Every structure is written in structure tokens, then in C-alpha cells.
């Protein structure tokens, strides 16, 4: 079988919309998504000589885009730092809110059931509310949250990518979850 030679001039027409939708679903900002797709095409063009056709052009471009998204999160996370000194004076720890082994809420801290979300809102509205709540997170919280729960990277990978200590990572995740919970409850989801 003859290896397929990539044709960069066709990338925008063949893959642009799909790459854009993927990026937009990860960063929730149209301008940033467009920029990430453009960066992907430029990186692919620069690395064209290294393309070995072990994967399809589409797969190769998506791998590059995913890396660009992680780089975006890394830049965003470095915009602000969460100090461990900012923990509350009452001595609460992550263990008061989350199970250390799996990061899930502890019993008393678990959000109320959101089963009424389907009755109260259409699925699209729920998605839009969640997206707006995510946009209210600090840049660092948003980056860590997206890397963990959208990109599904492990805590270790995120700490390595963003240069965070494990303790700082868990503080950021804890605060992001609490802020998202408050925002969603404010919009009528959860506690009544």
C-alpha cells in the first residue's frame, strides 16, 4: 500500500469544521478555538516532514490539536496561582469535602440530586448553564477542571503539565468543584 501524502491546502476544507467543534467543546470560546485550529494547521505544516502515515491525516491533526489545547490550559493555569495559605482559617481540608482515593464528594458534602434537571431544563439549557459556570472559574481553576474532567488526564499528568504540587492541585480542584456547585445551585439545579 502506497503511503498517502498529506495535502495541507485541503486541511481547512476537509478537517477545519470538525477540529473547530472539538476545540470549541474543550475551551468554550470561539476565538480561542479558531486560534487553536490555526495553530494546529501551522504546527502540522511545520512537522509535515515527520508525518509517517502511521495514522490518518485526521488522527494526526487531532493529536496535534489536543496538544495545543493542553498547552492552552497550561498557559491559562499559569496566569494565576492558588496559594496554600489561602485555605480557610477553620482548618478544613480536602478530606472534609472529598474522598482522597477517588476525588468524589463525601456523604455530607455531596450535592443534592439533580434528577429534576431534566424536568426543569432541556439538556441543551443544562449544558449552557454548566458552560457559563465553567467560564466563571479562575483561569487556573478552569484549566485544571477542563484537563481533569474534559480531557480526562490524571492528577499526576496535570501536576506535571502545569508544574503544580499535588496539594495545590487538590486545592484547585476542590475550589473549582465548590464554585461550580454554587453556580449550578444558583441557577436552580441541586438544592431546593
- Whole-angstrom CA distances from 145 to 15, 59, 79, 82, 190 are 27, 25, 15, 14, 20
User: Using CA atoms, how far apart are residues 105 and 125, in angstroms rounded to an integer?
Assistant: 25
How do residues 7-47 score in pLDDT, each as one tens digit?
A: 788 888 999 999 998 888 888 788 999 999 999 999 988 88
How do residues 117-138 score in pLDDT, each as one tens digit?
A: 545 445 667 777 778 888 888 8
pLDDT at 137: 86
User: Using CA atoms, how far apart are residues 133 and 142, in angstroms rounded to an integer?
Assistant: 10
**Quick check: 141 pLDDT over 50?**
yes
Which residues, in sequence order, are CB contacts of 147 under 8 Å at separation 6+? Answer: 70, 73, 153, 157, 158, 161, 162
Q: Which of 65-69, 96-100, 136-140, 152-156 has the lowest mean pLDDT?
A: 96-100
Q: Could you tell me the pLDDT band of residue 166, with boundaries at 50, 70 and 90?
A: confident
pTM over 0.75: no
What angle do the packed helices 11-27 and 57-77 form, to 10 degrees?
40
Ramachandran region, residue 103 (left: φ > 0; alpha: ψ -120 to 50; beta: rest)? left
How do residues 142-158 score in pLDDT, each as one tens digit?
A: 888 888 888 888 889 88
User: Using CA atoms, how far apart are residues 37 and 182, in angstroms rounded to an integer?
Assistant: 33
More confident residue, 59 or 85: 59
Are the beta carbons of 136 and 179 closer than 8 angstroms? yes
CB atoms within 10 A of CB 147: 24
Amino acid at each position: 500500500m502506497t503511503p498517502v501524502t498529506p495535502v495541507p491546502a485541503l486541511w481547512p476544507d476537509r478537517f477545519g469544521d470538525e477540529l473547530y467543534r472539538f476545540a470549541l467543546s474543550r475551551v468554550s470560546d470561539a476565538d480561542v478555538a479558531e486560534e487553536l485550529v490555526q495553530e494546529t494547521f501551522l504546527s502540522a505544516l511545520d512537522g509535515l516532514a515527520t508525518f509517517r502515515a502511521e495514522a490518518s491525516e485526521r488522527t494526526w491533526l487531532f493529536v496535534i490539536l489536543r496538544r495545543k489545547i493542553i498547552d492552552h490550559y497550561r498557559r491559562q493555569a499559569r496566569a494565576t496561582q492558588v496559594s496554600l495559605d489561602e485555605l480557610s482559617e477553620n482548618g478544613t481540608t480536602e478530606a472534609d469535602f472529598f474522598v482522597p482515593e477517588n476525588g468524589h464528594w463525601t456523604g455530607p458534602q455531596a450535592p443534592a440530586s439533580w434528577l429534576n434537571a431534566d424536568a426543569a431544563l432541556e439538556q441543551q439549557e443544562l449544558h449552557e448553564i454548566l458552560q457559563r459556570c465553567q467560564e466563571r472559574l479562575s483561569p487556573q481553576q478552569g484549566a485544571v477542571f477542563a484537563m481533569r474532567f474534559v480531557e480526562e488526564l490524571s492528577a499526576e499528568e496535570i501536576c506535571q503539565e502545569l508544574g503544580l504540587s499535588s496539594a495545590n492541585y487538590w486545592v484547585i480542584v476542590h475550589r473549582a468543584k465548590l464554585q461550580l456547585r454554587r453556580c449550578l445551585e444558583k441557577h436552580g439545579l441541586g438544592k431546593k
